[in-house]
Amino acid sequence: MRIVAEHLSYTYDASSPFAARALDDVSLTIEEGEFFGILGHTGSGKSTFVQHLNGLIRLPSSQKRYRPKKGQALPVLRVGEFDLADKKTDFKALRKRVGMVFQYPEYQLFAETVRDDVAFGLKNFAEKGKMPTEEARTEAVKSALEIVGLDYGEVADQSPFDLSGGQKRRVAIAGVIVTRPEVLILDEPAAGLDPLGKKEIMELLHRIHGDWCKTIVIVSHDMDEIAENCTRAAVFSEGKVVMCATPKEIFSDEARLSALGLDLPLVAKLCHALRARGISIDCDDKTEDFVRAVLSLKEGGA
């Protein structure tokens, strides 16, 4: 599903003294099959933007009492064949196909067993009178738990609250992908995890990407995460999209990034440092790539 957003704006608590502008005329297109990154500081509007994508925040024009204002570019938001600016859109059907993993998703676990928690979405999204059979459900839960790297036999009957932090997060992710959404959005999926946990979560996302979920969108403020994993990324700042390109292009514009108060990923920093010493190196800002480039330099050059 292709995601097209044009002229998206959003203000929290409009018409109150607490009004805060979160999105300001955002236009962005995410193609099917991408591993898209959304970068930005806290309060840059990145979370607000992704909540639009599965209709948790509605466009004004999709709400009951809506009167268009004159002289304003009408916002457009389309996800696949769903037109989110339309009142008649079936938001439940949309949510089935656009999965959303919130920040610290382990805090939304509630059921008595891991099995029940993962099956929650499965039951909710079942069409009327078409509840999947017990076996079909078990099968879906089993494959979801396995792709996130958990052993079904071991955890299925445990209480989700008895698991470790990293395991809880995997269960929560399994609970979202169990319905096989085409687009998976994750808000800071690796926040609060140790380096190994972060790496495992990213590996998990690459396992899911492709066959399981065609498009993945991650929100992050970790430059390394974006540089290592994404095919393309957008930089949000004060509610606006200020850059949208491949990570390599984004991180080559050091001056612009530092003006936005954003840091470079480690590999990009090393490349810059090497270049400053007259050693030119061409790589993709990925650790593996970098190591390979440095090794070949050593073999060829020295």
**The two structure tokens encoding residue 48:** 């607000």
DSSP secondary structure of 162-195: GS-HHHHHHHHHHHHHTT--SEEEEESTTTT--H
Least Å distance between CB 92 and another protein?
6
The residue among 288, 295, 250 whose CA lies nearest residue 267 is: 288
| Residue number, 159 or 231, with CB nearest to another protein | 159
| Residue number, 184 or 241, with CB nearest to another protein | 184
Interface positions with another protein (CB under 8 A): 16-17, 51, 54, 56, 92, 95-96, 99-100, 102, 105, 107-111, 120-121, 124-125, 161, 175-176, 179
| Residue number, 56 or 73, with CB nearest to another protein | 56
- DSSP secondary structure letter of residue 37: E
Provide the residue type at 60 as one letter. P
Asked if residues 14 and 212 have their Cβ atoms less than 8 Å apart, the reply is no
Provide the residue type at 92 as one letter. K
Give Cα separations from 55 to 59, 133, 241 (angstroms): 8, 29, 20
| Residue number, 100 or 264, with CB nearest to another protein | 100
Least Å distance between CB 25 and another protein?
24
Asked if residues 227 and 216 have their Cβ atoms less than 8 Å apart, the reply is no
| Residue number, 125 or 254, with CB nearest to another protein | 125
Least Å distance between CB 21 and another protein?
18
The number of beta carbons lying within 10 Å of the beta carbon of residue 111 is 16
Least Å distance between CB 123 and another protein?
8
**Coil, strand or helix at 296:** helix
| Residue number, 92 or 206, with CB nearest to another protein | 92
Least Å distance between CB 120 and another protein?
6
The rounded radius of gyration (Å) of the Cα atoms in the chain is 21
**The two structure tokens encoding residue 230:** 């994404």
Least Å distance between CB 185 and another protein?
9
